[in-house]
Amino acid sequence: MAPDQNPAPTEFPELNAVLADLAQRARDILGDNFVGAYLQGSFAVGDADLESDCDFLIPVHRPIDAAQEAALRQLHRELPARDGYWTKRLEGSYPEKDQLRALSGLGEKWLYIDNGWTEMSWSTHCNTEVVRWSLRECGITIVGPDPKTLVEVVSADVLRAKMRDEVENFIPNLNAWTGIDRNDWSQRYVVTTLCRIMHTMDTGRITSKKAALIWGREHLPPEWSNIIQRAIDNRAAQWDAPANAADVAKTMAFLEFATGRVLG
């Protein structure tokens, strides 16, 4: 580990070792193109646990060249094949610094690795208003300058506009990769995401899944308390666990409620 690296960016020693190696190897590959390495997502906004993905960003000064891309792809093929738990839960992108800084960079594709995958792609997955807000306001530095120097302020109005877009396109986006009735994980994901959307509409901030669910249980009409509590209780639901038909019906009603609340 380089002397300027944060030795304990998370509470999990095994993950800290994985992140230290990731940051150092990316630094070695990128050389003077390397800006820094950061955590955003659950580990930044709070309540990360063993069910969480570890969302990272490793910004670069200029476009990644062919040799650097090949080496990064090889790195991310190797990591999930290693022994250990957290090597298989990394997800993140390598954004160009100038594209990351402002919302004018939205739509640009960054080199990206999905959670547990071994093949990288060029994707807009991490290029969002939410990721920028999380990095600037809550980001954890593994190594590099303060993230506030890398990202301009993302206003509450911008976040609310993003949430309106999210809820309007919720079902088409969801059906592109799963569905409410496909399994218990997906049903819980829908409830959790809708609570996060409504929390942001009310507060102008991004919060963790757990905090959003607790907020929803305490602030939304009591008719939704049971479905929200089940999402809290089923945090560790496995992908192949079957969906409960009654919960699916209630979740569809919750979606209709959330859409009306967000869009007015």
Question: Mind listing the pLDDT tens digit for each residue in 6-29?
Answer: 999 999 999 999 999 999 999 999
pLDDT at 20: 97
pLDDT at 236 over 80: no
The domains of the chain are located at: 13-149, 156-263
Residue 117: other Cβ atoms inside 10 A: 15
Which residues of 88-162 form beta strands (DSSP E)? Answer: 90-94, 110-113, 121-123, 140-143
Q: How far apart are CA 51 and CA 22, in angstroms?
A: 20
pLDDT tens track for 117-135: 999 999 999 999 999 999 9
Strand duo 37-40 + 54-57: pairing? antiparallel
pTM to 2 decimals? 0.95
- Give the bridge partners for 103, in sequence order: none
Secondary structure (3-state) at 130: helix
pLDDT at 59: 98
Does domain 13-149 correspond to CATH entry 2.10.260?
no
Q: How far apart are CA 138 and CA 42, in angstroms?
A: 10
pLDDT class for 63, splitting at 50, 70, 90?
A: very high
Q: How far apart are CA 44 and CA 142, in angstroms?
A: 12
pLDDT at 179 over 90: no
